[in-house]
Structure 1
Amino acid sequence: MFRQMEDFVHVWERETAQTSKLLSYLSDESLSQKVAPDHFTLEKLGVHLSQAITFMMSSAGLDLAPLEEHDAYNANEIKALYEQTANGFVRVLQEQWNDEKLSETTTFFGSETTYGSILYLLLQHQTHHRGQMTVLMRQAGLTVPGMVGPSREEWAAMKG
């Protein structure tokens, strides 16, 4: 749970930089990769990262503009959509919430929680989907950058 906006913003900026880095490794050819027939493709997961920011945080009471959605996205559009959404969200958050708000309790998707905990959940959700994406990226033959420490390729390069 976050108790100070400054702490959340610091973590958010670091984590969104990592997500942007991951998205920059996508290729248009990889976007149809999925783990099973009824599961999200890399394209849908990438777009979902942006959709979830808007959906979750609007559900928590932030006044966020809905995303303009398309039927299909290329890799560059997914990254741009994410960066625009993530940066816009943090600006609105800083305008509409403060440290005191983070300790207040609310009902979020049927459970009592604090606003600071909702921000933590947003980060967890993003990390969860980044992990899914790294597996699909490997299946698609893409290089995967390190997210929490070096990737396999980065580790091998460090060992020389």
Structure 2
Amino acid sequence: MFRTVQDFIEDYRDESQNTLKLLNLLTDESLKSANTPGFRSLGHLAWHLVHDDAGMLRRIGLDFKAPPAGAEPPESAAAIAAAYRETAESMLEAASRWSDEKLLESHNMFGRNWQNGLTLLMFVKHEVHHRGQLTVLMRQAGLQTAGVYGPTKEEWEKMGMTAPK
């Protein structure tokens, strides 16, 4: 649980930059890639990261600019990345207007009472979870990925090293 607004801002600034690194590697062609029938395509998964799909942050009173939850994903990878960047910046700006006391307020979230600091943490974890899915779909679509918490195989090779197995 985040105990200070500044802790959330610093953590989400880093995590959103990692997400943006991946979104910037998508291609328009890759957005339609879906490896399993009935599941999200790469484009739909990327778009899911752009907005607060479950309304978690809106329910706790964080007011920021984002595409509507029901909006269809753009056909342009660059448009998805730009929308993500704008939404993340707006979210961070909105959070900067909160006090640390606001993190202690509770709201019903999925049938449980969560303090806002916990909701923000779960929002970040939600994004990290889907970012992991995104990297798998990107690899399956033949795209390179970017190192998030460590180098990718290609990044190891650029450093003249062999990636650990």
Distance in 2, Cα, partners of 1:156 & 1:62: 42
> Which letter does structure 2 place at the counterpart of 1:37?
P
Tell me by how many angstroms 1:62 deviates: 2.1
The answer to whether the 8 A contact 2:74-2:80 is kept is no
Change (3 A) 1:61 1:46: same
Question: Aligned to 2:96, which of 94, 97, 102?
Answer: 94
The answer to whether the 8 A contact 1:106-1:115 is kept is yes
The answer to whether the 8 A contact 2:34-2:42 is kept is yes
How many residues align? The count is 159
Tell me by how many angstroms 1:110 deviates: 1.2
The answer to whether the 8 A contact 1:32-1:41 is kept is yes
Equivalent in the alignment of 1:85: 87
For residues 24-48 of structure 1, give each alpha carbon's deviation from its aligned partner in whole angstroms, at most 9, with x where no partner exists: 1001111111231100111101111
The answer to whether the 8 A contact 2:9-2:95 is kept is no
Percent identity, please. Answer: 39
Tell me by how many angstroms 1:5 deviates: 0.7
Higher helix share: 1
> Which letter does structure 1 place at the counterpart of 2:139?
R
The answer to whether the 8 A contact 1:106-1:113 is kept is yes
The answer to whether the 8 A contact 2:64-2:87 is kept is no
Structure 2, unmatched stretches of 5+, are none
Change (3 A) 1:115 1:126: same
The answer to whether the 8 A contact 1:5-1:94 is kept is yes
Equivalent in the alignment of 2:8: 8
Distance in 2, Cα, partners of 1:123 & 1:71: 21
